[in-house]
Structure 1
Amino acid sequence: MRDAVLTIPPATRAAIDGRVHSRRCGIPSHRFSSVAFGLARTIARLTSIDGVSGHDHRRPALFANFSSSGPKTGCEINLPPSTAGTRNSKSGRLRFRRARREQLGTGGCKSAGGSLMKTLYVGVLVALWYLFNIYFNIYNKQVLKVYPYPVTITTAQFAVGTVFVLFSWATNIIKRPKITSSQLLVMVPLAIAHTLGNLFTNMSLGKVAVSFTHTIKAMEPFFSVFLSAMFLGETPTLPVVLSLAPVVGGVVLASLTEASFNWIGFWSAMASNLTNQGRNVVSKKLMDQKESLDNMTIFSIITVMSFLLMVPVTPLMEGIKFTPSFLQSAGLDVKEVFVRSLLAAIYYHAYQQLSYMILAYMSPVTHSVANCVKRVVVIVSAVLFFSTPVSRVNALGTAIALAGVFLYSRVTKLRPKKPKSA
Structure 2
Amino acid sequence: ETTVIEAESGVWNRSMVYLGLWYFFSFCTLFLNKYILSLLEGEPSMLGAIQMLSTTIIGCLKMFVPCCLYKHKSRSEYPQNFIMIMLFVGLMRFITVVLGLVSLKNVAVSFAETVKSSAPIFTVIMSRLILGEYTGLWVNLSLFPVMAGLALCTATEISFNTLGFSAALSTNIMDCLQNVFSKKLLSGDTYKFSPPELQFYTSAAAVIMLIPAWVFLMDIPFLGKSGRSVSLNQDMVLLLLFDGTLFHLQSVTAYALMGRISPVTFSVASTVKHALSIWLSILVFSNHITILSATGTALVFVGVFLYNKARQIQRKSLQAAAA
For 1:411 and 1:269, locate their aligned partners in 2 and report how far apart those are by CA, in whole Å.
29
- Residue 225 of structure 1, aligned match among 124, 146, 155: 124
- Residue 170 of structure 1, aligned match among 37, 40, 64: 64
Q: Which residue of 1 aligns with 2:49?
A: 155
- Is 1:137 the counterpart of 2:37? The answer is no
For 1:159 and 1:232, locate their aligned partners in 2 and report how far apart those are by CA, in whole Å.
31
1:318 is paired with a residue of what secondary structure?
Answer: coil
- Is 1:57 the counterpart of 2:29? The answer is no
**Cα RMSD, aligned residues only:** 3.8
- Report the AA paired with residue 411 of structure 1: A
1:389 is paired with a residue of what secondary structure?
Answer: coil
For 2:111 and 2:309, locate their aligned partners in 1 and report how far apart those are by CA, in whole Å.
24
Q: Which residue of 2 aligns with 1:102?
A: none
- Residue 296 of structure 1, aligned match among 182, 196, 200: 196
Q: Which residue of 2 aligns with 1:90?
A: none
Q: Which has the higher contact order (CA 8 A, sep 6+)?
A: 2
Deviations 1:157-179 (A, max 9, x none): 11011110111123244445553
For 2:182 and 2:143, locate their aligned partners in 1 and report how far apart those are by CA, in whole Å.
23
2:95, 2:171 within 8 Å by CA — same for their partners in 1? Answer: yes
- Is 1:244 the counterpart of 2:143? The answer is yes
Is the alpha carbon distance of 1:271 and 1:148 closer, same or farther for their aligned partners in structure 2, counting shifts above 3 Å? Answer: farther
- Residue 352 of structure 1, aligned match among 251, 276, 281: 251
2:272, 2:300 within 8 Å by CA — same for their partners in 1? Answer: no
Is the alpha carbon distance of 1:246 and 1:308 closer, same or farther for their aligned partners in structure 2, counting shifts above 3 Å? Answer: same
- The offset of 1:304, in angstroms, is 1.3
Q: Which residue of 2 aligns with 1:310?
A: 210
2:190 is paired with a residue of what secondary structure?
Answer: coil
- Report the AA paired with residue 168 of structure 1: K
For 1:339 and 1:389, locate their aligned partners in 2 and report how far apart those are by CA, in whole Å.
32
Deviations 1:206-241 (A, max 9, x none): 666656544543432111012233445545311022
Long gaps (5+) in structure 2: none
For 2:120 and 2:52, locate their aligned partners in 1 and report how far apart those are by CA, in whole Å.
26
User: What's the TM-score, normalizing by structure 2?
Assistant: 0.74
- The offset of 1:347, in angstroms, is 0.9
For 2:10 and 2:32, locate their aligned partners in 1 and report how far apart those are by CA, in whole Å.
36
2:117, 2:148 within 8 Å by CA — same for their partners in 1? Answer: no
Is the alpha carbon distance of 1:393 and 1:376 closer, same or farther for their aligned partners in structure 2, counting shifts above 3 Å? Answer: closer
1:211, 1:383 within 8 Å by CA — same for their partners in 2? Answer: no
- Report the AA paired with residue 392 of structure 1: I
1:223, 1:277 within 8 Å by CA — same for their partners in 2? Answer: yes
- Residue 85 of structure 2, aligned match among 171, 174, 186: 186
- Residue 273 of structure 1, aligned match among 159, 172, 175: 172
For 2:105 and 2:25, locate their aligned partners in 1 and report how far apart those are by CA, in whole Å.
19
Q: Which has the higher helix share?
A: 2
- The offset of 1:389, in angstroms, is 3.3
- Report the AA paired with residue 246 of structure 2: Y
- The offset of 1:381, in angstroms, is 1.6
- Report the AA paired with residue 351 of structure 1: Q
Is the alpha carbon distance of 1:258 and 1:344 closer, same or farther for their aligned partners in structure 2, counting shifts above 3 Å? Answer: farther
- Is 1:415 the counterpart of 2:314? The answer is yes
- Is 1:282 the counterpart of 2:170? The answer is no
- The offset of 1:272, in angstroms, is 2.8
- The offset of 1:312, in angstroms, is 1.7
In percent, how many aligned pairs have the same letter?
A: 24
- Report the AA paired with residue 407 of structure 1: L
1:130, 1:374 within 8 Å by CA — same for their partners in 2? Answer: yes
- Report the AA paired with residue 127 of structure 2: S
For 1:182 and 1:163, locate their aligned partners in 2 and report how far apart those are by CA, in whole Å.
24
Is the alpha carbon distance of 1:188 and 1:349 closer, same or farther for their aligned partners in structure 2, counting shifts above 3 Å? Answer: same
Is the alpha carbon distance of 1:176 and 1:308 closer, same or farther for their aligned partners in structure 2, counting shifts above 3 Å? Answer: farther
Mapping of 1:90-109 within 5 angstroms?
none
2:103, 2:165 within 8 Å by CA — same for their partners in 1? Answer: yes
2:94, 2:206 within 8 Å by CA — same for their partners in 1? Answer: yes
- Report the AA paired with residue 314 of structure 2: R
Long gaps (5+) in structure 1: 1-52, 61-117
Mean alpha-carbon deviation: is it higher for 157-166 or for 128-137? 128-137
Is the alpha carbon distance of 1:316 and 1:136 closer, same or farther for their aligned partners in structure 2, counting shifts above 3 Å? Answer: same
- Report the AA paired with residue 270 of structure 1: L
- The offset of 1:385, in angstroms, is 2.0
2:100, 2:171 within 8 Å by CA — same for their partners in 1? Answer: yes
